Amino acid sequence: MNKVKIGIFFSLVLGMGLFSSCGSDEGNSKLLLNEVLVNNQSNFQDDYGIHSPWIEIFNKSYGTADLAGCYLRHSSQPGDTASYFIPKGDVLTKINPRQHALFWADGLPNRGTFHTNFRLEPNVDNWIGLYDSGKKLLDQIVVPAAQLQADHSYARVDDAAPEWEVKDESAEKYVTPSTNNKTLDKNVKMEKFELHDSVGIGMSITAMLVVFFGLILLYVSFKFIGKASVAMSRKNAMKAKGITDKSEAKEKGLGQAPGEVFAAISMALHEMQSDVHDVEETVLTITRVKRSYSPWSSKIYTLREIPHKK
């Protein structure tokens, strides 16, 4: 009885660890601060149509991460740290793999889950920290006010990259709310492949070789499995018949069955799965499938019929 109670206790603990939001050790390394815009004059608008400062969080893992229960903290002066608890119960707090979540630092938390209770200050340095539900620091950044102009963001060079830079209005470094910090407009590997194999002969040969070797592998695997199955069946038959001589068992054909037997077994299994016979233990009765007549599927009413001349 004690063992059962202990097992239930550990199962509950494990379940809490697996399904907790933002508190598990696995989820701690998933979430990072990715991009921050402090002075929003004409950039991205929130759901109220207002230009507000925003904070972007990135899920760098290949699994879903939940922000519910996490904390966003902000400080622009020593001793004035504000803490925003991301409420639970909102399905939008779940970030898909390699995706982003945007929080509006407008000091108006009554406007929704993604509106914080603090506001970023454009004229001073802003410290921002992301904490899990256990108030363990996940990531932090100090946004330098001297380096940022209006509508310029402070962001990682690439998603989850350790280096930060200022994103401005240039074509190489542009502000990217709720999307990748670096957008790739070309594939280097594809360009190299096209350069060395412009016609596609190499790709065709490679594809045919892959298929050919795959078929060889399947043939060898099935042949090995077939021989192993026949040997096991023969061994069981020899044990049932009390025969120890392998040559005698081979002469009597133990463990081997003609193709008709396998065909009958396959047909019986097919009929059983198709539900066209009644359920009996020793008798296999195949029933006739009756289909009701419908004029919608009748060929005599189709347009292919030659019209009658009057």
Tokens matching residue 72: 């966003």
Same domain, 177 and 190: no
The C-alpha atoms of residue 181 and residue 157 are separated, in whole angstroms, by 7
Residues 96 and 172 in one domain: yes
Residue that terminates a domain, selected from 136, 151, 183: 183
Burial grade of 161 (CB within 10 A; 0-12, 13-18, 19 or more): middle
Q: Are residues 55 and 193 in the same domain?
A: no
pLDDT for 265-300, tens place per residue?
888 888 777 765 555 556 666 666 666 666 666 666
Q: Is residue 153 in some structural domain?
A: yes
- In-domain check, residue 302: no
What's the CA gap between 224 and 81, in Å, rounded? Answer: 69
| 90 inside domain | yes
107/76 Cα distance (integer angstroms): 14
User: Domain check: are 144 and 200 in the same one?
Assistant: no
Model pLDDT, residue 287 = 62
pLDDT at 276: 58
CA separation for the pair 177, 100 (Å, rounded): 9
Residue 231 lies in a domain: yes
The verdict on 141 and 61 lying in the same domain is yes
Assess if residue 293 is contained within a domain: no
Same domain, 190 and 207: yes
Do 190 and 119 share a structural domain?
A: no
- Give pLDDT, residue 230: 77
Q: Distance (Å, rounded) from C-alpha 52 to C-alpha 45?
A: 7
- Would you say residue 307 lies in a domain? no
Q: What is the pLDDT of residue 27?
A: 40
Q: 39 and 154 share a domain?
A: yes
- Domain assignment of residue 24, yes or no: yes
Q: What's the rounded Cα separation, in Å, for the pair 273 and 237?
A: 29
Domain containing residue 106: 2-183
In the predicted model, residues of the chain with pLDDT beneath 70 are 1-29, 185-186, 255, 275-308, 310
Residue 292 lies in a domain: no
Q: Could you tell me if 74 and 203 lie in one domain? A: no
Residues 105 and 9 reside in one and the same domain: yes
How many structural domains comprise the chain? 3
Concatenated DSSP letters of 32-91: EEEEEE---SSS---TTS----EEEEEE-SSS-EE-TT-EEEEESSTT--EEEE--SS-G
Of 133, 165, 183, which marks where a domain is finished? 183
Statement to judge: residues 72 and 200 lie in one domain: no
| C-alpha to C-alpha distance for 178 and 217, rounded to whole angstroms | 46
Residues 9, 142: one domain? yes
CATH code, 63: 2.60.40.1260
Per-residue buried b or exposed e for 85-108, using 16+ beta carbons within 10 Å of the residue's own CB: ebeeeeeebebeeebbbbbbbbbb
